[in-house]
Structures are given as C-alpha cells and as structure tokens.
Copies of this chain bind each other. A is one copy, B any other.
C-alpha cells in the first residue's frame, strides 16, 4: 500500500492499557495556561523511568471552559490508579497551583473513577479556603499570594491506551524529523490523545530487554538503527534510509489513537524524503491492542 508515493508497511502498532487522568488548566491568557501545562507535563515521556507519561492534549477555547478563559487539556498517565492519584496531586500541586493565573477543572467529569485532588489541594490554604460553584461545578477557592487559586473538587481518570505508534523512515535525518514534526502538528489538533515524548517525537525507539546487557529493562532497537545497518543482521533499514523517528500516542480510547495515527501518517508522507511508514510491535505477545496501519485508511 502506498500513500502519496510512500510505502505503508502491512503491519500493526501494539499498544497497552494505561490509566489516564485528564485535566483542564485555564489561565488569564492562552500563554499562561500553556506555561503551567508544560511544567506539569514535563519529565513525562515514558514510565520506564519517568514517574508518569504526560502531555498537552489540545487547547480549549474560552467558549468551552467553565470560567470562560483560555485553557489547555493535559493528560497524565500511569500504570495504576494509586500512582495516578499521587502524580495528579504532585504535578497539579507543584506545577499548576504555583503557576501564574491558573485554575484547574475536571477533564473527565463523566468518568466513574474520580480523584479528589481539589479537595486535597485546599489544605494548602491552611484553613482560609472556601467552597464555591463555577458553571455548576463544585470548586475550592484557595487564597494564595497572587490572589485565589480555583480547583474543581475532582479530576476523573479512566483506563486508556499507551503506545499507539508509527515509524517514519527518511532519506536523511532532517527529512524524517520534519515529517515527524508535521505529524505532531496534525495530531495536536485532535481530541483525546497526546504524544508524550519531547516535541511529540521519539528519537530513540527501544526494544524490551537487551541482547548483551541483561540488567537493562529496555535498549535500542538495533534493527531500526540506521548508523549500524551494515553491521546488524536482519536490519529493517533499507539502503536509501538514513534516519527513523517514532511517534508514540497515548489516548483515552481506540478511536482517538486511530484518528491520530491516520492524520499523523497522512501528514508525514507530504514531506519530501520520507521513504516508508511502519509501526512497532512485539509480535502481539505483550500488548492487548493492535492498530493495523492498512486498516486506518
């Protein structure tokens, strides 16, 4: 199968269940909402060694937020609800409560699982807190140095999906990278998914475990490493390919992941120098979700 003259390999992305909380951060301006969101979602690429996977989902227009201000939806993801509860408290308490002009609202009010983060944050007010209502939502008002911080009582979490992905093969590093950036631009417009790696892009996709260093949980996937393609038996890198980037997508459901993979791939193949699109999987042995590339289109 080809798209814009680029081969789409007949394979699938293998993905895993993960717990996801969704938080709406509003600010006096879009920029201040974004400053808080960036801090709150940093150090959040992969749960291999980060305390969470996290990212900005999309901007929210003032017309859709409870307080009528510009906002940003973020997602925070961990392998269990206990860790998620902790990460929510730590990341919102340290990176949003402390950030200029922000307020926090529940990004998944319909979810069965709710974390009472706003309730816990109110203790920071040391007795000066109060309760109020904004657009029908129960909100705590916490006096701080800048004025009042507003936090909705609960933040919802659900069982979502981590590790949706596709790989971009390029004739040069910068072709592949530009295609990756364009794919992330396209995915950034969507509802329900994040690309948690730096700039949304993975430069160093990994395999589970190791061939040589048994103490490593994850190591470079040498079959996808162009600089050693001549030395690796069974390399997956064609002669005319010199760089590969992976886009990793977490999302609240299968539909979100599929939409992101589809528009991401369609946009990536518009960049000159992209040679092939494929995806990462473990032969179906590890993850419960399989996203077949050919079925996206």
Contacts and interface: CB of A to CB of B under 8 A. Distances in A.
Contacts of A271: 28, 174
A35 interface: yes
Query: Number of copies of this chain in the oligomer?
Result: 4
B203 A45 contact: no
Given A147-B272, A202-B145, A219 B100 contact: no
B270 A68 contact: yes
B39 A145 contact: no
Interface residues of A, number: 111
B204 A90 contact: no
A224 interface: yes
A263 B147 CA distance: 25
A38 B238 CA distance: 34
Interface of A: 4, 28-32, 35-36, 38-46, 48-51, 54, 61-63, 67-70, 89-91, 93-102, 123-128, 142-149, 167, 170-178, 180-182, 185-186, 189, 197-199, 201-206, 210-213, 215-216, 218-222, 224-228, 231-232, 242-246, 263, 266-267, 270-273
Given A61-B186, A148-B227, A174-B273, 4 more contacts: A62-B185, A69-B270, A128-B225, A145-B202
